[in-house]
Amino acid sequence: MHADETAAVLCGDFNICPTDLDSHHSPEKTAQRIFHTADERARFQRLLDLGLVDTYRDLYPDTRMYSWWDYRMGAFHRNWGLRIDFVLATEAVRARARDVVIDREYRKKKDGLTASDHAPVWIDLD
């Protein structure tokens, strides 16, 4: 990395589905509903306009994968989810990305423990 390249990562639960691909719901049902509003999406886009990259979407532009599922109605087992957890990064970091993982297996209930409603998301860097 050169001295003039900024390496930064911003990650977490943003509670926004930036595109229709990030939600199991049909766009007709979610238009202007929480997680899917034009205002929320515009604010997320402002982060990207600052030079951050949605690392998962960069590596998997057409993949429908979720990081959150409601506890009700068997949503996890039906894969009725939302991708609302992100690893955003500057180009200097994105260029080193080998993979971005949404670990659905970790989200499963194990050993009698209550599972989280989120799956961990991480980036594997060179």
Which domain CATH number covers 16? 3.60.10.10
DSSP assigned state of 113: P
> Whole domain around residue 28: which residue ranges?
9-125
Q: Cα separation of 22 and 11, whole Å?
A: 16
Residue 40 resides in a domain? yes
pTM of the full predicted structure? 0.90
Residue 1 resides in a domain? no
> Taking phi first (over 0 means left), then psi (-120 to 50 degrees means alpha), and beta for anything else, what does residue 62 get?
alpha
Going by pLDDT thresholds of 50, 70 and 90, the confidence category of residue 2 is low
Residue 22 resides in a domain? yes
Going by pLDDT thresholds of 50, 70 and 90, the confidence category of residue 23 is very high
Q: How do residues 50-61 score in pLDDT, each as one tens digit?
A: 999 999 999 999
Q: What is the number of domains present in the chain? A: 1
Residue 2 resides in a domain? no
